[in-house]
């Protein structure tokens, strides 16, 4: 075994200078300078929390505004009325329990009718009813649902502007006996603010959903009526019910709404809640008929017979603060509604893109397999190769990794035909845990150790590459175990002189835990399907650091490995593609690596990967305007990676958020069916990937849970990375703690 010290004879060679043609290359500060100058960006988790809270609040607000929350599926049936004063049950339609009153009930004046309409405003039927009232020169009282006011404030404004009266019919049309007191107060006040925002006036008239006449008030609703009085609301019921909600026919509605013996009446009808064509037609008959009988039509507050000559003030102009709050409610709910609509559009786009990507991956994977079967066998590649292993504090796994490399069966051939064994160069990047000593103590032939001061992975790779002149270079992480035959398989694609790099197949070596299984599923799917598809499109995003082979000529042309980004492997792969080199995938070249064993370590690793990938994309953005291979990569590879690697994952959380939203506030069965359909499509892709990679399907039992838990973590990491990039914060390299617990699972 040869051993080189950096300052002694045969000392460490310096990495090659960057080639002048290298695009986007800029001089970077040393890792030590970055270590001093860079700080871990703060506030990333709060950004995610704020976004999540905002989205949940907007969805809830929209659900409330569209009457999806609290809508009653059953109607309260009248019960005993032992506690209700007879003055109330035998009284009129207006019940005043303000200021602690318990017996104040008022009837309509004789020969006076107040037409009252519930459940609006409705964009179709409210205007038609207003036209009928205007035609006959009368006014009515409209008890409006707050949520519908927020959907159509202009209609509420028209009702008010034409001289009609507005009352409160709660915000979501819920049965008030089924919700707690705090929610009832919220329903009243929210509707009041909606009325104020639309009309500029307040109202104290309140009618409960599903109410009828005074004699139907029971012991359940009497406390609720008194509670409303304590909030300064006057409760309104009806004298007669037109029963237009049942659509019994025009003449039957007229008959039902006709009071007996010439008494005054508050007549109940509806301007929303269904097809109200019969109501509109009935009004056109009813109003002239009642006028001929000597009845006068007026609003409810104008037709009340107080008896003691006192006047009732049920409406007043809102104060400035009330008007401000009312408009804030309207605009806030309008914004929430618009936001949800746009999110729904995005959700459709996300779903379509997800399914399109899955289909595209399957088609391209099939194309890859077809081309591979038709490919003619080539002469075995026997070009001499050097394996470079950058190592920083890798004592846990370096011995096993080096032994697996030294045990390979690949033998190169010199120009004269003599055998040239694989050379392994371990570049110890300033380790403090004895990594270099462990390798040196192995005493293995054709294994060299180069000790350098800590300078980063990219520099270590360049130093190791420069320490040998062999035509092919394999770059391997210090925690990776190679299967026998992997080096031979990895190098065979170089029979094609257009191939500049080969991506191997990385396998999870610590897949025993649930977190390990999730990463195993991710790795298999990503390599077996995605990399095959990327090869066909000629836009391979990354040759993995765990197992990748490079043609030295290709490395020299792009200036070696750059330390401009935290994803040096992605940066290098993009540079090779821009230079016109083919980057291919070799599934039979398998290497086993240790993945993060804790959620925290996983988040740290993926945060660095994601941030580094975005750095690489930004660095190579100029390729979009280039010609030739660089332009092709810029106009195919970069948009594909940006769309499916950044944009789509950023929007994908909408699927899960709307899943919860749909289960609670929408059609639970339809929502669950849609989500399960998406899950099945992704599971099919995963199963195909496992078959292609000759992996047993047993680990896929963890796939549904991966979609529910693991995927959400990846969303958070991506959002954090984007937030870091947008704020301009700089990210420090984070070294993961290795355990060396890697096993090769059975094939």
Query: Which of the residues are catalytic?
Result: 118, 270
The whole-angstrom separation of Cα 463 and Cα 456 is 11
| Angle in degrees, CA 700, 706, 707, rounded to 5 | 110
DSSP 3-state assignment of 414? coil
Beta carbons of 555 and 440 less than 8 angstroms apart: no
- Across 207-317, the runs of DSSP E, i.e. the strands, are 234-236, 240-241, 265-270, 296-297, 304-305, 315-317
Beta carbons of 589 and 504 less than 8 angstroms apart: yes
DSSP 3-state assignment of 541? coil
* Element at 110 (helix H, strand E): none
Beta carbons of 498 and 659 less than 8 angstroms apart: no
Beta carbons of 357 and 644 less than 8 angstroms apart: yes
Beta carbons of 330 and 323 less than 8 angstroms apart: no
Closest CA to 690 of 526, 524, 452, 542: 524
Backbone angles phi, psi at 321, to 5 degrees: -70, -40
The whole-angstrom separation of Cα 253 and Cα 243 is 6
| Strand 234-236 with 304-305, pairing | unpaired
Distances (CA, A) of 505 to 164, 370, 593, 693: 75, 19, 10, 9
The whole-angstrom separation of Cα 57 and Cα 712 is 19
**441 burial type by CB count under 10 A (0-12 exposed, 13-18 middle, 19+ buried):** exposed
CB burial string 146-162: b at 16+ within 10 A, e below: bbbbbbbbebbbbbbee
What are the DSSP calls for 710-737, one per residue? IHHHHHHHHHHHHHHHHHT------PPP
Backbone angles phi, psi at 330, to 5 degrees: -60, -50
Distances (CA, A) of 213 to 82, 91, 228, 248: 17, 10, 17, 20
Q: Which two tokens stand for residue 179?
A: 């919700």
Q: Which two tokens stand for residue 729?
A: 């914060």
Closest CA to 489 of 547, 407, 430: 547
Q: Which two tokens stand for residue 270?
A: 């509806």
- CA distance between the termini of the chain: 34
The whole-angstrom separation of Cα 450 and Cα 432 is 14
C-alpha 253 chain-centroid distance:
50
| Cβ neighbours around 129 below 10 Å, total | 26
| Cβ neighbours around 256 below 10 Å, total | 19
How many helices (H) does the chain have, and how many strands (E)? 28, 24
CB burial string 599-631: b at 16+ within 10 A, e below: eebbbbbbbbbbbbbbbbbebbeebeebeebbe
């Amino acid at each position: 075994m040869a051993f080189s010290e950096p300052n002694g004879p045969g000392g460490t060679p310096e990495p090659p200078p960057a080639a002048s043609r290298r695009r986007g290359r800029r001089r970077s500060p040393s890792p030590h300078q970055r270590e001093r100058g860079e700080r871990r960006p703060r506030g990333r988790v709060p950004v995610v929390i704020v976004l999540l809270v905002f989205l949940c609040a907007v969805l809830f607000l929209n659900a409330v505004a569209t009457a999806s929350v609290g809508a009653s599926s059953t109607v309260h049936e009248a019960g005993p009325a032992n506690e209700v004063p007879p003055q109330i049950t035998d009284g009129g339609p207006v019940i005043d329990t303000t200021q602690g009153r318990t017996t104040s009930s008022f009837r309509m004046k004789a020969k006076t009718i107040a037409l009252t309409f519930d459940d609006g405003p409705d964009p179709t039927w409210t205007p038609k009813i207003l036209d009928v009232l205007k035609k006959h020169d009368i006014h009515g009282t409209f008890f409006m649902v707050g949520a519908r006011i927020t959907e159509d404030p202009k209609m509420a404004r028209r009702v008010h502007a034409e001289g009609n009266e507005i009352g409160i019919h709660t915000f979501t049309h819920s049965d008030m006996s089924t919700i707690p007191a705090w929610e009832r107060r919220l329903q009243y006040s929210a509707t009041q603010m909606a009325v104020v925002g639309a009309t500029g006036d307040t109202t104290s008239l309140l009618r409960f959903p599903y109410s009828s006449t005074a004699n139907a008030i029971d012991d359940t609703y009497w406390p609720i009526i008194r509670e409303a009085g304590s909030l300064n609301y006057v409760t309104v019921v009806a004298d007669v019910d037109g029963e237009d909600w049942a659509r019994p026919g025009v003449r039957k509605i007229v008959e039902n709404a006709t009071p007996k013996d010439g008494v005054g009446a508050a007549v109940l009808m509806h301007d929303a809640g269904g097809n109200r064509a019969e109501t509109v037609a009935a009004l056109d008959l009813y109003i002239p008929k009642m006028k001929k009988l000597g009845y006068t039509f007026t609003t409810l507050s104008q037709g009340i017979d107080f008896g003691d000559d006192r006047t009732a003030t049920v409406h007043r102009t809102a104060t400035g603060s009330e008007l401000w709050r009312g408009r804030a409610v309207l605009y806030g709910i309008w914004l929430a509604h618009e936001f949800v609509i746009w999110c729904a559009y995005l959700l459709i786009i996300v779903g379509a893109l997800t399914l399109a990507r899955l289909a595209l991956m399957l088609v391209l994977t099939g194309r890859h397999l077809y081309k591979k079967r038709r490919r003619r066998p080539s002469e075995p590649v026997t070009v001499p190769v050097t394996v470079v292993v950058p190592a920083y504090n890798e004592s846990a796994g370096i011995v096993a990794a080096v032994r697996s490399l030294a045990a390979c069966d690949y033998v190169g051939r010199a120009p004269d035909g003599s055998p040239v064994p694989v050379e392994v160069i371990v570049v110890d990047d300033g380790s403090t845990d004895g990594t270099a000593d462990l390798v040196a103590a192995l005493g293995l032939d054709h294994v060299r150790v180069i000790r350098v001061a800590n300078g980063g992975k990219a520099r270590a790779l360049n130093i190791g590459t420069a320490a040998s002149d062999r035509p092919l270079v394999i770059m391997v992480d210090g925690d990776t175990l190679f299967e026998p035959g992997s080096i031979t398989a990895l190098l065979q694609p170089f029979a094609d002189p257009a191939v500049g790099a080969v991506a191997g197949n990385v396998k999870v070596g610590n897949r025993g835990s649930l977190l390990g299984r999730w990463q195993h599923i991710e790795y298999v799917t990503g390599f077996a399907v995605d990399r095959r598809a990327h090869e066909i499109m000629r836009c391979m995003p990354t040759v993995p650091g765990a197992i990748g082979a490079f043609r030295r000529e290709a490395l020299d042309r792009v200036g070696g490995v750059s330390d401009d980004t935290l994803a040096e492997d992605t940066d290098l792969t993009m540079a090779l593609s821009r230079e016109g080199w083919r980057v291919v995938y070799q599934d039979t070249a398998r290497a086993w690596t240790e993945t993060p064993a804790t959620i925290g370590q996983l988040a740290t690793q993926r945060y660095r990967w994601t941030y580094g990938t975005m750095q690489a994309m930004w660095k190579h953005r100029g390729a979009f305007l280039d010609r030739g291979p660089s332009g092709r990569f810029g106009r195919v590879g970069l948009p594909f990676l940006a769309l499916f690697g950044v944009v789509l994952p950023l929007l994908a959380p909408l699927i899960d958020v709307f899943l919860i939203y749909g289960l609670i506030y929408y059609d639970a069965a339809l929502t669950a069916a849609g989500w399960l359909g998406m899950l099945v499509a992704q599971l099919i892709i995963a199963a195909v990937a496992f078959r292609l990679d000759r992996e047993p399907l047993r680990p896929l039992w963890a796939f549904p849970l991966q979609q529910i838990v693991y995927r959400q973590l990846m969303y958070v990491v991506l959002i954090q990375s984007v937030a870091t990039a947008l704020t301009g914060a700089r990210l420090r390299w984070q070294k993961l703690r290795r355990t060396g617990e890697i096993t090769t699972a059975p094939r």
